[in-house]
Structure 1
């Protein structure tokens, strides 16, 4: 680990350490992520789709508090409904990746939810499907936006977008969603409806 690499890793470890695990699986994923970050392994994708085989990703779940809905996108490559997001660039702060990807993919400014601020809310470690399969260490962030604010999206990456209530997300078959979407939604419900 180089000296220039130490500070971003320390900040990332601090962010990961501040996430309260929702369940045993998230606890396991947080431990795995902390060991991976602290162990000095490469963190950022340097060549598409799978170099290195494990790398950092951000998801951002856009919430419309007024309507009680969250935004999911139909991701073309994954073939699943999931939150918008993308890969963290080498040396990039994960929150900066959220800001960049939000602008690129949804054409809106990233506004952090008052529930979490600019800190990740959830973390998953997931093996991707299909050609070039690799492991994404995904930091999930919460953003606020009105449904009316999202008027376009990156149709090269997404075939459609949908606004759903948390209950509607939980009614969706898990085979069509990110494999952790139901768990994320239950964690979100827990903080929204104590």
Structure 2
């Protein structure tokens, strides 16, 4: 982690939706993550602002010490998986996404249209489960054909044979499901790691 240079926090613009995340803690602190902009160097960084002035920069995953605790930030392959304030007493709470950000728009959808939000959440998990199951079946078959494994336990033949177009559609659905879950800062090591 390095000290910030005091630059002011830029307002979130609509064209930054795919590559920027902005979260706030009690309107005092803000965490700005430009995850697509930083990909060229192979490192994603987060900037910490206090009263809209940059006070620290860190590579992800990051832990920023703040008054009363720390802000923890981490990414998955599809987006932010953690942006929480952890108080000194161990109590945790998620930072609030900026209303203009993709995460903020997803949070507003959950507030304004809870039924639609739940349906999207169920669909994203369903696509990820199907994607993981299909991947396991497709990987198990060639692995079982390795001679020592085939001699030991036999050759596994996948009971599922999907046409290419359906295989691609399930893959796209799994990636979309993983992105949807990232907008809600939901992460499961198996579902979301495989989905991206």
TM-score (norm 2): 0.24
Query: Which one has the bigger helix percentage?
Result: 2
TM, length-normalised to structure 1: 0.24
Greater RCO (Cα-Cα under 8 Å, separation 6 or more): 1
Larger radius of gyration: 2
